[in-house]
Chains A and B, each alone.
Chain A
Amino acid sequence: MNADLKGFLPVDAVVVDGRPGLQWMDMSGVSLAEPLFQQTVERLRADDRRELFTEFDVLLQLEKELDSVQPTGFIFHSSRCGSTLVSNACRAINNSIVLSEANAIDKLIVRFITDPGDIKTSLYSVFLRGVVHALAQRRTGNEEHLFVKFGCCSFAQVEQIKRIWPNVPWLFLYRDPVETIVSNLKDVPPWLLDNDRRVLASIAGTSPAEVAEMSLEELCARTIGSLFSTAHRLANDGQLLLNYKQLSVPVISRLLRFFKVSPSATELETIEHGSQIYSKEASRKRTFVADADAKQKFASEAARKAAATWASEPYQLLEQKRLEMNLMKSGEQS
């Protein structure tokens, strides 16, 4: 393979001197152990790991050279709804690679919105396939499964993603809109503060100028409402809808089987242990505390109003569809 990139993984999609491309980091001997891919990158940056920039075309060459794992399952979500718990569970499976909200993936997907056009869409699709291929390279030789958890906004482009990987099963995980809004406002995530307002404008069905004037409550509600509608429109027997309130070890075990992976007893024990810890913390020491009731109780009037106006109806429709699909019903716990 390209000698300069041996041991390197693409860690970001960037523009350098007007040239769009990828930032690569030497990740030799490093496992992607943190809950989120960028947490691993930040840990390594503290060690002064070597980094370099290439343009996207290198991906096409690497795709022919690298031995990589094909995707096992995709995890989409509507933000703050347990998707990191699910991706952590996937990481508990032996010989698995989990790419959890990797910048290089999600930023390429954003280009479907910010840089549209038939040829560009094809080109970015090829690059997206290439960047996943590069990230999924077999570094120990034993890797068998590849799970990709996308950033929440990437679900808006699920149809483009399906064009690239039409046969990969996917999950859409979601949560009560009031609880989702409360969580996002308590600790505002980067996607909600994105300066390039074209992305949220596209998802929310409005203009960048309107997004700039919108309250965070409304912006969050309109975004998740749109994601719920997309899931409602596209989910069928090849996909899985999962509500945060269903999450439990038996349900996660069923989810893994939906991805055609059979967890062993030891792996289920690891998943059980992991489910008791706050999922996004890299140190894995903070205990998870269920907070759905507290989020409902302390929701502001603005959050409730935004949820009712923009997200509650698509949420109810999605819940109805989930019940109709009934794939996970027997796994629900009362």
Chain B
Amino acid sequence: MSATTLSPGKHVVATDFDGGEGILVDLNTKKYYQLNETAMIVWKGLEKGKTMGEIAADITSSYEVALDKARVSVERIVDNFQTYKLLTAK
């Protein structure tokens, strides 16, 4: 499934904490997830409807990292979000 068809689930609430990190709560399962700065950038990108490529580009503008490596990181994080059923298909 392409990331362009994925967005944060309506059953998930995200909040910033501690200058870039964040917490997600799945209101269905009552489980909490702590996100590091990169995962929070990915989550916010998905909230804005960005593609994985666009999110990877955002990361390269904030961190000294090559685009291909940023894209691998974004894909891994999105996979994790999907594993925990935090995303929904549009």
Contacts and interface: CB of A to CB of B under 8 A. Distances in A.
B17 A60 contact: no
Given A61-B13, A126-B17, A163-B18, 10 more contacts: A57-B13, A57-B25, A57-B30, A57-B32, A60-B13, A60-B23, A122-B17, A122-B21, A122-B34, A123-B34
A163 B21 CA distance: 13
- By secondary structure, the B interface counts as strand
A26 B85 CA distance: 35
A125 B18 contact: yes
Contacts, number: 33
A55 B17 contact: no
B66 to A, nearest CB: 30
Interface of A: 55, 57, 60-61, 63-64, 118-119, 122-123, 125-126, 129-130, 163
Interface residues on B, range: 10 to 19
Complex A-B, nearest 7 residue pairs according to Cβ-Cβ distance, in ascending order: A60-B13, A57-B25, A126-B23, A119-B34, A60-B15, A126-B17, A122-B34
23 contacts: A55-B30, A57-B13, A57-B27, A57-B32, A60-B13, A60-B14, A60-B23, A60-B25, A61-B13, A63-B15, A64-B13, A118-B34, A119-B32, A119-B34, A122-B21, A123-B23, A123-B32, A125-B17, A126-B15, A126-B23, A129-B17, A130-B15, A163-B18
Contacts of B14: 60
Contacts of A122: 17-18, 21, 23, 34
A124 to B, nearest CB: 10
A53 to B, nearest CB: 14
Contacts of A57: 13, 25, 27, 30, 32
Nearest to B16: A126
Contacts of A118: 34
Interface in B1-50: 13-15, 17-18, 21, 23, 25, 27, 30, 32, 34
